[in-house]
Structure 1
């Protein structure tokens, strides 16, 4: 019996040690969407085609769409503007007029005039789709060909073309993308992970932009830095995450004092009192993939 228990414990320990967790960063600059134009199923592919001014989420796009029934690709060019899409087909002069469109949209103010600028070039087809970053609705709008204006939509809650994906590959053949449940900024790095009686935890360090709009507040800052603890059930279903900033332009967090244990497995950060927050300390336990916060 003792031998059997020892063998089971050994096998269990081997299994736990063999469980592998990886984080893979993948930057997308092209997306495929499904949707409908006037009730007809369509497929669309759009690719990033260069930034307009200084906002990552205001850029040129190019690509194509086709009606699923015929699969004949029809070229598109246009602008991605804070989740909205302004797309145009110029027929046989697609390349020439696409270049002219680029030359005439050079700053954030002109982005707002995309449609009037494009219409002067007399497009064969116009596709305008509106969405937002709330992830609560489909992208919907109108398709115009000649004098006809028809309804159009994409079956997606996220029309972003440029995406910073951080895939976490977990045991039990599970995979999650921090893009989907933390934020869209990426920048995560896997530090450690552990399993105990409370479940599973993953510790991430992150460095990310404060603002995709480099012309806006904190756009030229060094960005947001800190740690995240991700909590999972025993069978690796995601539960929640906690975030701990050690530097932030948005939150005005700078000049934090850091100390390390001799084995460098414990990191302590001390935050001074401010007008809005009391002094506090948090300790990063790398070995146990945990962070504890306390008053200074």
Structure 2
């Protein structure tokens, strides 16, 4: 007989040999017992009580899901604290607060975990279906001619397989919850981004309106100054006209004085 290799604990032949070396095992009395042993060993290949820690794949999934849940809770707490700071200081930079890069990575990670769990569950379900069918075949083969099948005979369930399916179901529920929570956080950030964008647009509109008001005031002042310039120009024109009249009057008086002077000289 070939010795079992302890360095390969998840190989079915190794598990078969390990079982055959047990002194307390149930004896194999028929080909049906051998078939049951082989299928059980295949279904129990990831039995958590018989494989080392480096092959505890379901534990790996549980830890990964727990890390995603913790990450989502941390990001939500940071987002809440960031909103408080933003409310106290509306002019603070909100770019980092509204960044979704970390949440997106978590979403991709939890989606991959969900897909892998779905594949693993499908494999285990196929195993469960196969074992159920095999048990029916064995029971039918054990029926002696002329004897009806025992109505109390039932499928011998594989407890390890059921435990695996139960753990996967719970992990799927937790993964789905984490997936929904991350999407909810992304939705909150999107809504906050919309609010921030609306506030920024309103502030820009207010600034534009204020600049327009200031420009209108400057234009009004310019118009007033132009009016004053026109008034000053009119005043200068009026003064020039008055000066012209005064010059004409002075010239007329000069002519009159000249006439009187000439008359005086003549007489």
Which structure carries more relative contact order (alpha carbon 8 Å, separation 6+)?
2
TM-score range, shorter chain: under 0.3
What is the TM-score with the length of structure 2 in the denominator?
0.22
CA radius of gyration, larger in: 2
Greater helix share, structure number: 2
TM-score by length of 1: 0.20
